Amino acid sequence: MQISSRFTIAIHIFACINTFEKEYKITSDFLASSVNANPVIIRKLLQQLKAAGLVTVQRGSGGASIAKPLEEITFFDIYNAVECIDKGKLFHFHENSNKNCPVGRNIHHILDDKLERIQKAMEEEMKKITIADVIRDTRKYISEDIK
């Protein structure tokens, strides 16, 4: 299992917007240069973040901006906006276990509650971390770079 890079790229986008919005127009090209990714990927993520009400995007002279206070945007919000989880389940379960095997026949019963507990714990932790935490650390590391 691995959460895709969409999640960390989306967090990177928030850090860039907050860090550079007063100096630069925040375009998908600008963000892509920081992420070192294709601008098309950035535009897709911005669309998803916009649909979730986390950023605003104005064509032309506007660029991207953060739509809510930093303390109100959690990792869980971002995760829900950009990750494609099937039917709300983090773990994809193999569907064709051998029903003639006692393990194969029962593996869903064996694992379902455990995987659900793991997902719930991860989601609860994600709800505790905000973009404000990321921005605080971003400023710290940028100021250390300057020294």
Q: What is the pTM of this model?
A: 0.87
Q: Distance between terminal CA atoms of the chain?
A: 39
Tell the CATH topology of 5-146: Arc Repressor Mutant, subunit A (1.10.10)
Q: What is the pLDDT of residue 140?
A: 92
Q: How many angstroms separate the CA atoms of 26 and 22, rounded?
A: 9
Q: What is the pLDDT of residue 113?
A: 93
Tell me the domain boundaries of the chain.
5-146
Q: What is the pLDDT of residue 144?
A: 79
Model confidence over 97-128: pLDDT tens digits?
899 999 999 998 999 999 999 999 999 999 99
Pairing of strands 55-58, 63-66: antiparallel
Q: What is the pLDDT of residue 143?
A: 84
Ranges of residues in the chain whose predicted pLDDT is under 70: 1-2, 61, 86-87, 147
| 85-91 long-range contacts, CB within 8 A, separation 24+ | 89/115, 89/119, 90/1, 90/115, 90/118, 90/119, 90/122, 91/1, 91/115, 91/118, 91/119
